[in-house]
Structure 1
Amino acid sequence: MSPTLPAPEIQALIGQHTGELSSLRRTERGFSSDLTALVEGEKGGFFVKAVRNRPGGRRDSLTRERLINPFVSPISPALRWCAEDEDWVVLGFEAVTGRLSDFGPGSPDLPRIVQLLDRVGRLDLPEVARDWPETRWDRFALDETEAELFRGKSLLHTDINPSNLIVGEQNMWAVDWAWPTRGAAFIDPALFVVQLVAAGHTAEGAESWASRCTAWTKADPKAVDAFVGATVRMYRAFAERKPDVPWIKAMEAAAQAWADHRRVVLV
């Protein structure tokens, strides 16, 4: 998030929805946005995400998040308004009170995380998402036959990590639906496994948590193995391009540990 971002421009654009602002506090989350912030105004509090209004991935991701929101509430905070001009696209969500989830071994959050992932897995695939096939792992599969194993009719979040699963006193939310897709139901639980290993779990222990998700129990082991191999190759490619980014190396190591556990042969 750039410290030189012209916040007054954002305030002028969203003022019709918020009223006069009393505070704007930037958040640490929001790697794919130019601005994420909690704002307080005459009309209440909101969580806002803003990106420059330019063609391409970040604008497209905000468009998907706007379109999918009615179908993922109340698992995700409700979208209250959107605003756009020549320079900015902004979404204003219901502000919820919570903290980042803890994926570490022994975390009391883990049972609730599994329950939330199971709720995500039971969401119906809306018509708007039928033209959003999941293809990001295809180029890391060994061949088209493997890539075909990632196809499916389930709505996927595809960015399962501690900062996107928010823990409240009574509720939990899956936030940042920036790139929802249609694919095989096991993919979200599989992403959970990689994150658990990166957080310090053994691969066997991580799979034991994923096995509590209905989508995981119904998965074809061959499809899971293909996905594990593709995930290792994906993070390996990312690490080669950005060797000095610690989180990428950590995810590569976690995926490799999982592949070793499943005895997936990498070529």
Structure 2
Amino acid sequence: MATPRTAFEDLPSSVRTAIEERTGPLLQAETTAAGFNSEISARAHSTTGTCFVKGLRTDHPRAWTQAREAEVNSYLRGIAPALLWRLEAAGWHLLAFEALDGHHADYSPGSPDLPKVAATLRHLGETPCPPIKLRHAEQRLLGYVTDPAHAQLFAGPALLHTDLNNTNVLVDDGRALLVDWAWATCGAAWLDAGYWTIWLMAAGGNTPQSAEQWAARVPSWHAAPREGIDAFAHANATMWAEIADPDPDPWTKRMLDAARSWSAYRSAL
């Protein structure tokens, strides 16, 4: 479920003053609609340039995700926009990242963005989990597998994004960068290719077979045991059914349909 958005201009004056201490005088701030995890999401233009600012109130149930994004960012060179600064003031926790002028990735069949996303996932799959507090994939998915032993198939030493919504992928200057690391996780390197498979199908036009062909562009996918992929597909179908119950919105319904379709395809192989 999307987090209700607060307009940048509605931030307390003390918070805006703290921002200007880092940016210089603000000229304009454009609240953005994309993203589900932030109360504040805006491009801030100042006398020194432009940055992307996101944040949550410090008493928000997911305020911990702000700290996670800040801690993981230094390990994501070439994979995510760089963190410029962070601040906590007047009940708000804000992060500022370098602003990109690109577009959200197009996941439709034949899109020129797809090879760029595959290249970024290949790079990410080679990135080890940093020495910070992260959840583990086998823990996150344990409640959705039919056999608890299957969850161990998701364990591994790689850093994962796990939320490959196309709005979390920005294509800029010939590269795809991943944003919104609220659900950064440690696990098997092939899992992000698996998550991407579901998002490709939900975008429309991609079949389970064609989506897996893109997943296969990520080298770690070839190291995944068949049993692991089957269990992962089933776990995601179960997870999205839980999220969708009892009355899913159209976006959630697309994800549920894609996850179920992929799981059925894997079961029939």
TM-score, with length taken from structure 1: 0.93
Gaps of 5+ in 2: none
Q: Distance in 2 between matches of 1:209 and 1:50?
A: 33
- Structure 1 residue 85: Cα displacement: 1.9
- Structure 1 residue 74: Cα displacement: 2.5
**Counterpart for residue 257 of structure 1:** 261
Q: Distance in 2 between matches of 1:55 and 1:255?
A: 29
Kindly tell me: are residues 124 and 110 of structure 1, through their superposed partners in 2, closer, same or farther at Cα, counting changes over 3 Å?
Answer: same
Identity between Structure 1 and Structure 2 (%): 35
Q: Distance in 2 between matches of 1:50 and 1:175?
A: 13
**Counterpart for residue 133 of structure 1:** 136
> Could you give the per-residue CA deviations for residues 102-137 of structure 1, whole angstroms, max 9, x where no partner exists?
0011111111111111111111221115x5322222
- Map 1:1-267 to 2 at 5 A: 1-2=4-5, 6-9=10-13, 10-54=15-59, 56-57=61-62, 59-129=63-133, 131-134=134-137, 135-199=139-203, 200-241=205-246, 243-263=247-267
- Structure 1 residue 3: Cα displacement: 5.2
Gaps of 5+ in 1: none
**How many positions carry a matched residue from both structures?**
262
> Could you give the per-residue CA deviations for residues 214-264 of structure 1, whole angstroms, max 9, x where no partner exists?
1101101101100111101111111114x1411111111101111121116
Whether contact under 8 Å (2:51, 2:97) holds in the other structure is: yes
Q: Distance in 2 between matches of 1:223 and 1:252?
A: 20
Which residue identity does 2:11 align to in structure 1?
Answer: A
Whether contact under 8 Å (2:6, 2:39) holds in the other structure is: no
Which residue identity does 2:229 align to in structure 1?
Answer: V
- Structure 1 residue 7: Cα displacement: 3.0
TM-score, with length taken from structure 2: 0.92
Whether contact under 8 Å (1:17, 1:43) holds in the other structure is: no
> Could you give the per-residue CA deviations for residues 78-112 of structure 1, whole angstroms, max 9, x where no partner exists?
10100102410000111111000000111111111
Deviates more, 1:134-143 or 1:114-123: 134-143
Which residue identity does 1:17 align to in structure 2?
Answer: R
- Structure 1 residue 15: Cα displacement: 1.6
Runs of 4+ in 1 over 4 A off after TM superposition: none
